[in-house]
Amino acid sequence: MKALKYSKAKSPCTILVSLLALLTGLSGGPLVAPAWAEDAAPSVTGDITRLEKDVVFKAMLDEQKRTVDKLKLENHPKPYFVQYKVLESDSVYINAAYGSLSSSTRSASRRFYPDIRVGDYALDSSKSQGGLGSLLGDSYLSGGVSVPLEDDYYAIRQEIWLSSDKAYKKAVESFEAKKAELKANPVSDSLGDLTKEKPVIYLKPAVSLKFDKKTWEENAVKLSALFLKHPEIEHSLVNFNYRSANAWLTNNEGFRHSDGQLATELVVSASIRSKDGKPYSDSVVFAGDTPKELPSLAEMETSVKDMIKRLYDVAEAPLAESYSGPILFSEEAAGTLMNTVLSKLLSGPPEGGSESGFFKKEHPYRNQIGKRVASRLVTVVDDPAATEYKGSKLLGNFEVDDDGVPAQKLTLIDKGVLKTFCTSRVPTRGVEGSNGHSGNGSGTTSVLFVTIDPGVKTKVLKKRLISMGKDEGYEHVYYVKRFAPALGLFSLSSSLSSLFSSLGKGVTLSPSELYKINVKNGKEELVRGGTIALEPRRVMREIVAGGADDKAVLVAARGGRTVSVVVPALLVRDLDIKEPGKQSRKPPIVPNPLIMKSDQ
């Protein structure tokens, strides 16, 4: 059979009949009669014959049919929803320090994630959001069941069978407990547990790692050797990670999904200690899909040397002081700020419970669609299809989300007014169905574009910052030039916890470049140790100006994925800076041996 390309197929009956005939003939069995079957064929991307040829798909579909048809405990309902997902990863890790290769390893895994539910779309056995994992997120290292890396049909199916049995029994127990809880504590105006979506067939080829390992081992060693001349820097590490990720998804609604992605990060991290014993760290990150997209070795060496200079400058700088007032963020710093704030504010808020994920209390934007939630100057767009901006490659884009739903471009905030949320198939109040933004089963942002209208030049922003400081009687105001990526931030197992803390009570960000500006003469002075405390909702309302120019900034999303945020410089009216704590660590008793080496 010839490959079918993407088609919106308004209603050609012949295509629909042929497609249904093919799918019915697959070993996965006939599909449930979905709503789309009455008037249009499902959209198809890729070579549909892969469903017949691919061993992983065949094992999933065959066992899925048995699960749908025969998996049932006496006096309990059969599953109404059966979804299988297999995630496969292959990763290369290269570490180097002080001109020597520390480790060079490669690891591969393939894991199976069943989502079996009893009940119906309005009330089922599910307990919370998430559960299937993100293609390039952290789910390879947690959850799921390991299945063979080799395409062995019976070995893979054996694991699917056992996992399905366990998942169904757990679903039955959860459903009975959930019904009992709701009987004792009724909930009114429930949104249900799963949205109904039009099935999509999206089949992309698998990807694999292809690169010169020796070259990148040598590059890591050369970058790490730059620190040999700087014995004052106590710790340094070069980490290179190149990984492939392949996913297979099927469910009894008719969704069929296979996708493959590549990701590469090279992170150089270092720390220094000031004379009073306080440690400071910094990092530079280079990222792309493949190693070929990273900068040249010479360019990376220049960036590392710049970081080393920043560390020396910070170690000699005076301490920051407590402050509450206007703060200006450069484009790069604003990228971290906006990702931190918007990735949670604009993800579909969960319903019920005393905790709403990131927020300990009710989500601040719950029931706020159509209302002003931010400065009138601010517009925020999420575009999963964006791949490039002003010559810079954008990361974090995707065509189909983790639920198999096509991703949509969204205007989330329009001139300060909340328009919608990024949603998965978990129902979200005020949003009809999923808009293709599932990350690990819950709504998540992708490539964010933050614009300020009207925008002004950076010089004008600084003048306004100083003017606001004078009006409020301050001797100094503050300018954040950079937030350092957290150490280990871009590994598969990392999370945002190292970048910010106290999630339920607000966010604390630690600048690596923080300047105090004298309001009388405009003189800038680098200071150290200050942390910025902020409350996400307040930040969006307190934006009073933004730059006319914007920049694509690399940040970290949930699960450690590298994503891009396009954002201008931002001036925020009122934020708090906390002075550094009094505690410090005692320096090593014996000097760094590199000092002796540098004296030779």
Whole-angstrom distance, CA of residue 428 vs CA of residue 410: 15
Of residues 561, 590, 574, the one with CA closest to residue 534: 574
Q: Is the pTM of this model over 0.85?
A: yes
**Residue 525: strand, helix, or coil:** strand
396 alpha carbon, distance to own chain's centre: 8
Give the pLDDT score at 600: 54
What is the gyration radius of the CA atoms in the chain, in angstroms? 26
Residues 61 and 26: beta-carbon distance below 8 Å: yes
Of residues 180, 174, 145, the one with CA closest to residue 63: 145
**How many CB atoms lie under 10 A from the CB of residue 69?**
11
**Residue 321: strand, helix, or coil:** coil
Name 111's bridge partners: 87, 146
Give the pLDDT score at 559: 55
- pLDDT tens digit at each of 600 positions of the chain: 333 333 333 333 333 334 444 444 444 444 444 443 444 466 788 889 889 899 999 999 999 999 999 999 999 999 999 999 999 999 999 999 999 999 999 999 999 999 999 999 999 999 754 334 445 444 433 478 999 999 999 999 999 999 999 999 999 999 999 999 999 999 888 899 999 999 999 999 999 999 999 999 999 999 999 999 999 999 999 999 999 999 999 999 999 999 999 999 999 999 999 988 899 999 999 999 999 999 999 999 999 999 999 999 999 999 999 999 999 999 999 999 999 999 889 988 766 543 444 555 678 898 899 999 999 999 999 999 999 999 999 999 999 999 999 999 999 999 999 999 999 999 999 999 999 999 888 899 999 999 999 999 999 999 999 999 999 999 999 999 999 765 443 332 222 222 222 333 468 899 999 999 999 999 999 999 999 988 999 999 999 999 999 999 999 765 567 899 999 999 999 999 999 876 667 677 777 777 656 555
Whole-angstrom distance, CA of residue 178 vs CA of residue 356: 19
Residues 361 and 505: beta-carbon distance below 8 Å: no
Whole-angstrom distance, CA of residue 320 vs CA of residue 580: 7
Beta strand spans in 453-491 (E) = 476-483
Give the pLDDT score at 551: 96
Measured between alpha carbons, how far apart are the two ends of the chain, in Å? 72
Name 439's bridge partners: 442
Whole-angstrom distance, CA of residue 120 vs CA of residue 253: 13
Give the pLDDT score at 33: 42
Whole-angstrom distance, CA of residue 317 vs CA of residue 561: 33
For residue 454, is the peptide bond before it cis, meaning its omega torsion is within 30 degrees of 0?
yes
Amino acid at 153: Y
Please list, in sequence order, all residues whose beta carbon lies within 8 angstroms of the beta carbon of residue 519, skipping any fewer than 6 positions away: 466, 469, 470, 474, 475, 476, 477
Helix (H) or strand (E) holding 179: helix 153-184
Whole-angstrom distance, CA of residue 119 vs CA of residue 212: 51
**How many CB atoms lie under 10 A from the CB of residue 415?**
15
Residues 497 and 509: beta-carbon distance below 8 Å: no
Region of 258 on the Ramachandran plot (φ > 0 left; ψ -120 to 50 alpha; else beta): beta
**Residue 219: strand, helix, or coil:** helix
Tokens of 508: 């604390």
Whole-angstrom distance, CA of residue 545 vs CA of residue 326: 11
Amino acid at 130: G
Please name the residue ranges forming H helices in 498-559.
536-541
Give the pLDDT score at 41: 63
